[in-house]
């Protein structure tokens, strides 16, 4: 393992306030007067996560619902501040927490390509140069001026992925972004991940699709109720996970 | 320190254009409404106050129009930007980019209307008989200063709104009071030397409106000290508001 380290987490802990009450001025002032102490309890979503990801690795992230997969991705991306511990990222991070986040129904397909491309961190020139190719990949020729809301959900997902494929960040974090869509879309996604492996892109991919993990991921992280159960070669971790799930 | 590269500027541009299109501006009547609203208010206020409050003011209609255009820009921009982190919740919660871009793009999308409206004020002034003067070349300074003003207010309000949603109601009451605390339809001399006078002195919007009126109606070239003073104060407040926003940014996704 001589590749450069892209991501390291040291004893990462993330807790959230348990209460979900609407924040009001009264509650904010009361909390401030108590020096930030909150009335609600704390829920621990991540508990002592220690991982290292090197350049060129595709790492799977598995676990049941509520395991902390999305929280981990968002904490690595810097959207959540760690409660304790550290996240060190050497390079640029892109997060695909859901395909099409930020796309707007009332705008045209062309407008959304520019907007979502910008949200994904693409240069304007990259978007302009690849506009036709994006439309072709998404199979939306003839819909460029249509409002996004007139497209079926699957077509919108295809469009978002067609744009997101051009992300060239050092670390790509994906949360089930590739697990939706029809068979044809899945095949196109598989092609993208084969390319990613060949081009040695670095990604942490959260999914429930174990077949996908087996096929594409070099190593896998298994979370359960916020705890790091295993992190290592995919076949070993998946075997442990499946054994655990069977009990 | 946040680094802004071409991609951040591209995102700012796309967010601004998108929000502008969404603000019903993509239709002709939606676009027209931005100007009809202050014009309608000018008509009402002119009808009521022209005889008493406006008798000593030459071109009282334009005097009102300038005040209302600037007040409306301040009120609409800050109200919109206050809510933007929530109205664009998916982007706030699930996308990685400097979140102040959402606030700044919201202020910019409203400011596009403001620039057009101020141009309209200049034309209306000359049509109604105001003598053309080279001082009008200083009007862009007003646009820049007012943009700085709404930017620092918006950055602070957007943070407060995430922590305390009911601030929206309080702010609407404040904006109503601000219309009376700003010399929009009266002159400063109307206030005398009481508390109201000092409240207006402390009101940054009043300074912006004074500046545009002196440039357009009096044909006065603003002094360097005055421009520099307003630029320094508002620039400093933008820097402070930016620091406050950045210190709050890591917690935004949790609170929204």
Q: Per residue in A71-91, pLDDT tens?
A: 999 999 999 999 999 999 999
Nearest Cα residue to B143 out of B232, B209, B61: B209
Contact (Cβ atoms closer than 8 angstroms) between residue A202 and residue A76: no
Q: With contacts defined as CB-CB under 8 Å, which chain B residues touch A114?
A: 14
- pLDDT value of residue B24: 65
Mean pLDDT of chain B: 90
Mean pLDDT of chain A: 90
Instruction: Give the C-alpha separation, A55 to A202, whole Å.
Output: 5
Residue A28 has pLDDT above 60, yes or no: yes
Nearest Cα residue to A49 out of A86, A96, A74, A91: A86
- Torsion (CA) A49, A50, A54, A58 in degrees, nearest 10: -40
Which domains, from first to last, does chain A contain?
5-246 (3.40.50.300)
Q: With contacts defined as CB-CB under 8 Å, which chain A residues touch B163?
A: 23, 28
Confidence of residue B1 (pLDDT cuts 50, 70, 90): very low
- pLDDT value of residue A177: 67
Query: How many A×B Cβ pairs under 8 Å?
Result: 89
Are the Cβ atoms of A123 and B10 closer than 8 angstroms?
yes
Per mean pLDDT, which range of A38-47, B10-19, B92-101 is the poorest?
A38-47
Helix ranges (H only) for B88-138 are 89-94, 100-127
pLDDT above 70 covers a percentage of chain B that reads 96
Mean per-residue pLDDT, A117-145 = 93
B172: which 2 tokens?
A: 């609407």
- Name the most confidently modeled range: A85-99, B141-155, B193-207: B141-155
A138: which 2 tokens?
A: 């998404």
Question: CB neighbours of B143 closer than 8 A, spacing ≥ 6?
Answer: B111, B114, B115, B118
Residue A207 has pLDDT above 60, yes or no: yes
- DSSP symbols for A6-53: EEEEEEEEEEEES--PPP-HHHHHHHHHTTT--SS-EEEEEEEEEEEE
Residue A180 has pLDDT above 90, yes or no: no
pLDDT above 70 covers a percentage of chain A that reads 94
User: Domain ranges in chain B?
Assistant: 6-255
Which residue of chain A is at minimal alpha-carbon distance from B7?
Answer: A123
Confidence of residue A17 (pLDDT cuts 50, 70, 90): confident
The CA R_g of chain B, rounded to the nearest whole Å, is 19
Please tell me the pTM assigned to this model: 0.88
Q: Does A91 touch chain B (CB under 8 A)?
A: no
Contact (Cβ atoms closer than 8 angstroms) between residue A46 and residue A14: yes
Beta bridge partner(s), residue A9: A51, A87
Are the Cβ atoms of A79 and B11 closer than 8 angstroms?
no
A191: which 2 tokens?
A: 């092609």
- pLDDT value of residue A48: 95
Mean per-residue pLDDT, B52-61 = 82
């809510």: which residue's tokens?
B83
Query: Which of the residues A21, A97, A118 would you substitute to probe the B interface, choosing the one with the greatest number of B C-beta atoms within 10 Å?
Result: A118
Per mean pLDDT, which range of A126-135, B133-142, B190-199, B223-232 is the poorest?
B190-199
Instruction: Give the C-alpha separation, A73 to A205, whole Å.
Output: 9
Residue A36 has pLDDT above 80, yes or no: no
Q: With contacts defined as CB-CB under 8 Å, which chain B residues touch A28?
A: 163-164
Instruction: Give the C-alpha separation, B221 to B230, whole Å.
Output: 15
Mean per-residue pLDDT, B221-249 = 96
Closest Cβ–Cβ partner in B21, B91, B253 for A107: B21
- Torsion (CA) B54, B59, B61, B66 in degrees, nearest 10: -100
Question: Is the model more confident about A103 or about A34?
Answer: A103
Contact (Cβ atoms closer than 8 angstroms) between residue A98 and residue A175: yes
Local structure of residue A71 (DSSP, 8 states): H
- Classified as helix, coil or strand, B55 is coil
Q: Does A147 touch chain B (CB under 8 A)?
A: no
- Classified as helix, coil or strand, A88 is strand
The neighbour count for residue A47, using CB atoms within 10 Å, is: 19
Instruction: Give the C-alpha separation, A47 to A56, whole Å.
Output: 27
Closest-CA distance of chain B to residue A103, Å: 9
Q: Interior CA angle at A152 toward A150 and A153, to 5°? A: 120
Instruction: Give the C-alpha separation, B217 to B30, whole Å.
Output: 29
Are the Cβ atoms of B94 and A81 closer than 8 angstroms?
no
- DSSP symbols for B189-222: GGGTTSHHHHHHHT-HHHHHHHHHHHHHTS-PPP
Residue B152 has pLDDT above 50, yes or no: yes
Instruction: Give the C-alpha separation, B256 to B254, whole Å.
Output: 6
Are the Cβ atoms of A121 and B96 closer than 8 angstroms?
yes
């Amino acid at each position: 393992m001589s590749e450069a380290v892209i991501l390291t987490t040291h004893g990462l802990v993330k807790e959230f306030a348990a209460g979900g009450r609407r924040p009001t001025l009264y509650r904010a002032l009361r909390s401030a007067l108590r020096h930030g102490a909150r009335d609600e309890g704390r829920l621990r979503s991540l508990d002592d996560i220690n991982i290292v990801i090197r350049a060129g690795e595709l790492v799977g992230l598995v676990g049941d619902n509520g395991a902390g997969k999305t929280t981990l991705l968002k904490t690595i991306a810097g959207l959540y501040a760690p409660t304790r511990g550290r996240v060190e990222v050497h390079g640029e991070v892109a997060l695909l927490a859901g395909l099409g986040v930020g796309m707007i129904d009332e705008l045209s397909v062309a407008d959304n390509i520019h907007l979502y491309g910008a949200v994904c961190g693409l240069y304007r020139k990259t978007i302009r140069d690849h506009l036709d190719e994006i439309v072709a990949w998404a199979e939306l020729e003839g819909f460029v001026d249509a409002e996004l809301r007139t497209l079926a959900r699957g077509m919108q997902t295809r469009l978002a992925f067609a744009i997101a494929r051009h992300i060239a960040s050092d670390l790509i974090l994906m949360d089930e972004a590739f697990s939706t869509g029809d068979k044809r879309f899945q095949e196109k996604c598989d092609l993208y991940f084969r390319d990613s492996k060949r081009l040695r892109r670095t990604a942490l991919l959260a999914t429930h699709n174990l077949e996908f993990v087996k096929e594409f991921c070099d190593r896998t992280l298994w979370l359960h109720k916020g705890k790091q159960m295993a992190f290592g070669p995919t076949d070993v971790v998946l075997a442990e996970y499946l054994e655990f799930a069977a009990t | 320190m946040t680094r802004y590269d071409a991609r951040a500027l591209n995102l700012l541009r796309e967010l601004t254009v998108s929000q502008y299109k969404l603000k019903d501006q993509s239709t002709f009547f939606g676009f027209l409404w931005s100007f009809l609203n202050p014009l309608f208010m000018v008509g009402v206020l002119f009808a009521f106050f022209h005889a008493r409050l406006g008798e000593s003011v030459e071109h009282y209609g334009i005097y009102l129009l300038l005040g209302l255009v600037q007040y409306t820009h301040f009120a609409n921009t800050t109200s919109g930007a206050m809510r933007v982190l929530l109205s664009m919740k998916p982007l706030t919660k699930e996308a990685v980019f400097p979140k102040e871009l959402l606030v700044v793009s919201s202020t910019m999308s409203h400011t596009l209307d403001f620039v057009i409206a101020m141009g309209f004020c200049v034309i209306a002034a000359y049509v109604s008989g105001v003598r053309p003067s080279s001082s009008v070349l200083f009007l862009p300074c007003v646009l820049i200063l007012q943009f700085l003003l709404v930017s620092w207010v918006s950055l602070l309000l957007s943070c407060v709104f995430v922590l305390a949603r009911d601030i929206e109601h309080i702010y609407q009451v404040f904006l109503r009071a601000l219309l009376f605390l700003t010399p929009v339809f009266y002159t400063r001399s109307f206030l005398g030397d009481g508390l109201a006078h000092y409240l207006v002195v402390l009101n940054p919007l009043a300074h912006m409106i004074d500046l545009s009126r002196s440039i357009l109606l009096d044909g006065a070239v603003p002094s360097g000290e005055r421009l520099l003073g307003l630029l320094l104060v508002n620039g400093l407040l933008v820097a402070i508001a930016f620091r406050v926003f950045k210190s709050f940014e890591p917690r935004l996704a949790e609170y929204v």
